[in-house]
Structure 1
Amino acid sequence: METAALLNEIDLIVAGMCLLAGLTLSLCWRQRHQHMALHRLQARLERERATREQAEQALADTRRQVCHLSASQQSLRDAERRRIARDLHDDLGQHLLTLGMELRALGASQPALGEIVDRIDGHVQHTLRAMRCVVRDLQPEALENGLEAAVNGQLAQFSRLSGIPCQLDVQPEVFDNRDAGVEKMIYRILQESLSNIARHAHATQVSVAIARAANRLDLTVQDNGVGMQAPPPSACRTGVRVGLRGIAERVAEAGGRFDVASTPGQGTALTMSFPLTTIH
């Protein structure tokens, strides 16, 4: 009896050891399976991360190429504008001046033709003034003394003509950059922004801020006027919308970003950010 009981105990112990060994093997297999699954997941994540990084790099390279292409096109356009302005001033302007002098000489020698000559000379002088306006628009005279003088002069003239006080907040290092493309872009956009305010905003205060970061230039023009409401589609071609569209086109040509924040009755803020490497 004792021998049988001992054998039963041994069988139970052996069975327990076998069960424990099976559980241990099962746990080891499961852990190994989980480890392999985790390893495969990590490898997949690494591949996806590498693919994403490659895609982001490709996108960045494409953006740089687009910016460089836009900059090259802008440089060509600016060079063409300067050539046209020079030709208009030196060639057409000289011919108009000569024509006016000859007309006045004709009028002096032929008093009977005085009225006709004066009328023709008036048309010539009007054409000459229009030509000079075109030349100034192609190549702003205000920028001959640099962006700082141009901006200060522009704001002073705006306040004098509109009666709206204008505050300028600008970082000194902004004016250290003497890139003609940057200066012309800022000047033209500020000019159009102030013109929109004078015509449509009914503002009593305007603030202009120009700041430079490591690789961009930021321009903000804000007023406390009537603000804007979302117009119907037919209104997008008139008034202030045309001015904003022109500003947006200039900013887009420079590879920049243009944002409009406006609430009816609480004014409008135009914010433009230009990557410096793309403005030439």
Structure 2
Amino acid sequence: MKNILLLILLFCTGITQAISQDFVKQMDAYANNGEYAKVDSIYTLAHTQIDYDTHPVEALDVDVTYAIYLDAQNKFPQSRLLIAQIRKEITKMRETIRDAKTLKRIQELEAMATYELAYGLWLDNKIKEAKETADQAIEQSVALNDSSLMSEAYNLSGVIYRRLFMLDKAIASYQKTLKIAENQQNYNLASIIISNMSTLYNDMDENDKAIIISRKQFSYPLDTLSMKTHTNYLGRLCNHGIFLSNTHYYQAALDTFRIAEACLRENSPASIRFYLYTHHIKALQETGRIAESLQYCRKALRYRDLPQNPQNKANFDYLYGYILFHNTDSLIQAYRYAASATDFYRTADSLNILFSKSLLLLSEIEAQRNNLSTSASLAKEAYEKEIARQKDKYHKRLAGFQAELETQEKDLEISRLNEKRAIEKTGYQIRTYTIAGILVLVLLLSAILMIHMRKRKIAFRLKQMELEGEIKEKEAKSRLLASEMSKKMTEQYLKGLEDSNNRISKELHDGICNELLSIHMQINQSEQKQLSEQLTQIRKNVRNLSHQLSTPQFEHISLYDMLLLYTEKLNLLGSPQISSYISPEVKNVILLPEKILEVYRIIQEAVSNTIKHAHAQHMYLTTSRQDGQIEIIFEDDGVGFNVTLVEENELESGLGLRSIKERIHQLQGTIQIESQPGKGTILHIQFPV
């Protein structure tokens, strides 16, 4: 009967573990598709079937997974609260669970939760708290000898140190991560770490070190069949060429760019081609090969207007404007490209070194066009921006030194505390050994005394027997005398024994017991202090509550289908209802997935603003195509707002409208907003196909 019950228990445990793993897999699948509402539903369902009391490890696994996806949605406070609950439950489990395998799994989940807490704090820009938590994650992963989590924790620590401008410590963390990745033969991670280290050395103006460490990644095995791996390889070649160019090894840089160009495929991404051509142009221009650089400018122009990293696009515009101005008669084109680069740097990257250079280029162009006042104004602005850039670089480096100094002071304080604890421990051991020695001595003296008394007793008995033999003739009198003598001697013996016992008892009570009581009180006080420190740490971790929102995939869906599916989904959710009209011409529109995503985010933000702020009963969406333009009209019957007031004061517009305008700018489109208080709102959006 007991065997049957044991089999049933094992079977139920196996089913629960399978169910928990199934919940985790479902959350992973939905999160990868950006369906976080379904992730929430799965998590709620999981907690109805799995709890900490009956299946603690399975419940922890589900909670840690959900905390990860809360950070992915930028729900950092919720994630921190959940991780605090996880840690609290782990503390309880350690008091009740004795199975070694289960305890090890709990430690693994605790380390994962600590790492995720550090990652979320970093995403939430709480850098100092992230650094302390990342150190805890490293300690826990080292204790577990978990090389995968260890490499992730060291890498995160390097990123945090870089943000704090503690560049030496960032390099040290990256080196530890690189060693672990190479031991695991995880060459993709190793290449990423090498790229981070090379860029960091480049930022520190140690370009030779950047080249040396960058060259190492080309010794790793490469799976060229994978497009993703191939694209990463092209990117690494481009970055290596940039490091060579920064160190003025222009010919070596050109050779590297040629190798990268030879490796291009027909389906290589436009962004990597544009990136390669731009830096190839720079190296050619530095070596005076103007004709070749203009050829590569024309190659890059084919991809300029495709979706690109805005930073790379601005860098090309500056470079092309510079070459046009100094080597051709195209003054207007040179001005147009230089102005485009300057506009980007002014709004998005004002501390870029190319910002002051682009301002100087514009100043030269304006001087050539006889606009001397404008030229002087631009030159002055260039000077001011360069001074600001140098100050910012100085302040960041100074902040890094200060942070390193604070860290060293903390390390020194920890060293002092450890030394103090070592001294206290030594003193405690000395006292313990002293008391133990006294106890041994007392026991030894007691044993000697008992042996001596036993010998005396034996001698007394022998003497008594001798006396009994001598007075055998007077048996009656001898017996009486012997009885009296025995009584007297017994009383003396008992009195002596009692005195001895009293003396030993007093010695134990006044000496040894007091010493033991003092030690006992010290131990109790030490435990209370440790418990207080643990409670303080727990309270601190409760206060310290971070993947960017995974992007929906639109590779296999058209603009028409996206709009239709989205509006249908909204109507299923209830009030407010949305009425939509999508022109049949929209069915034939073919857009890149990136542009469909931007349209999706724009409509999503508009609907979100309406629900949160407009208190509307109905929403209307009209989409049509006219003269190569997509026209979207979004309308609601909500409370409306003062458009003029909002446009004059950008702080009043909130993140929603600013996000919509930025995305429309990415689509190279326009937006008109019509609204009055109490009369609803109309968004009129147009962008080219």
Q: 1:250 corresponds to which residue?
A: 663
Does the aligned pair in 1 maintain the 2:619–2:636 contact within 8 Å? yes
Does the aligned pair in 1 maintain the 2:558–2:591 contact within 8 Å? no
Q: Secondary structure at the match of 1:166?
A: strand
Query: Which residue among 561, 568, 580 is the counterpart of 1:156?
Result: 568
Deviation at 1:235, TM superposition (A): 6.6
Q: Distance in 1 between matches of 2:666 and 2:648?
A: 25
Does the aligned pair in 2 maintain the 1:235–1:241 contact within 8 Å? no
Q: Distance in 1 between matches of 2:633 and 2:647?
A: 26
CA pair 224-232 structure 1, distance change in 2 beyond 3 A: closer
Deviation at 1:197, TM superposition (A): 1.2
Q: Note if 1:236 corresponds to 2:236.
A: no
Q: 2:581 corresponds to which residue?
A: 169
Q: 1:36 corresponds to which residue?
A: none
The aligned amino acid for 1:252 is: H
Q: Distance in 1 between matches of 2:609 and 2:103?
A: 49
Q: Distance in 2 between matches of 1:221 and 1:176?
A: 21
Q: 1:208 corresponds to which residue?
A: 621
Q: Distance in 1 between matches of 2:612 and 2:555?
A: 24
Alignment of 1:30-41 (within 5 A): none
Identity %: 22
Does the aligned pair in 2 maintain the 1:143–1:184 contact within 8 Å? no
Query: Which residue among 104, 109, 127 is the counterpart of 1:118?
Result: 109
The aligned amino acid for 2:110 is: R
Deviation at 1:157, TM superposition (A): 2.9
CA pair 118-161 structure 1, distance change in 2 beyond 3 A: farther
Aligned-residue CA RMSD (Å): 3.4
Q: Which runs of 5+ in 2 are unaligned?
A: 1-31, 33-64, 66-98, 121-545
Does the aligned pair in 1 maintain the 2:614–2:639 contact within 8 Å? yes
Give the TM-score normalised by structure 2: 0.22
Q: Secondary structure at the match of 1:207?
A: strand
Deviation at 1:255, TM superposition (A): 2.5
Deviation at 1:248, TM superposition (A): 1.4
Alignment of 1:258-269 (within 5 A): 258-269=671-682
Deviation at 1:177, TM superposition (A): 1.3
Does the aligned pair in 2 maintain the 1:248–1:258 contact within 8 Å? yes
Does the aligned pair in 2 maintain the 1:224–1:268 contact within 8 Å? yes
CA pair 114-184 structure 1, distance change in 2 beyond 3 A: closer
Deviation at 1:266, TM superposition (A): 1.2
Q: Distance in 1 between matches of 2:647 and 2:686?
A: 27
Q: Distance in 2 between matches of 1:144 and 1:237?
A: 38
Deviation at 1:188, TM superposition (A): 2.1
Deviation at 1:199, TM superposition (A): 1.5
Does the aligned pair in 2 maintain the 1:216–1:273 contact within 8 Å? yes
C-alpha distance after superposition, 1:69-117 (max 9, x if no partner) = xxxxxxxxxxxxxxxxxxxx8xxxxxxxxxx9xxxxxxx9632244433
Q: 1:198 corresponds to which residue?
A: 611
Q: Distance in 1 between matches of 2:646 and 2:625?
A: 36
Deviation at 1:206, TM superposition (A): 0.3
Q: Which runs of 5+ in 1 are unaligned?
A: 1-88, 90-99, 101-107
Give the TM-score normalised by structure 1: 0.50
Q: Distance in 2 between matches of 1:247 and 1:270?
A: 10
The aligned amino acid for 2:102 is: P
Does the aligned pair in 2 maintain the 1:143–1:183 contact within 8 Å? no
Q: 1:5 corresponds to which residue?
A: none
| Larger RCO (CA under 8 A, 6+ residues apart) | 1
C-alpha distance after superposition, 1:20-66 (max 9, x if no partner) = xxxxxxxxxxxxxxxxxxxxxxxxxxxxxxxxxxxxxxxxxxxxxxx
Q: Looking at CA atoms only, which structure, 1 or 2, has the larger radius of gyration?
A: 2
The aligned amino acid for 1:156 is: E
Q: Distance in 2 between matches of 1:222 and 1:197?
A: 9
The aligned amino acid for 1:225 is: G
CA pair 231-145 structure 1, distance change in 2 beyond 3 A: same
Deviation at 1:120, TM superposition (A): 3.6
Query: Which residue among 580, 598, 611 is the counterpart of 1:185?
Result: 598
Alignment of 1:102-113 (within 5 A): 110-113=101-104
Q: Distance in 2 between matches of 1:120 and 1:203?
A: 47
Q: Distance in 2 between matches of 1:233 and 1:265?
A: 18
Does the aligned pair in 1 maintain the 2:578–2:620 contact within 8 Å? yes
Q: 1:272 corresponds to which residue?
A: 685
Does the aligned pair in 1 maintain the 2:559–2:586 contact within 8 Å? no
Alignment of 1:15-34 (within 5 A): none
Q: Distance in 2 between matches of 1:232 and 1:260?
A: 11
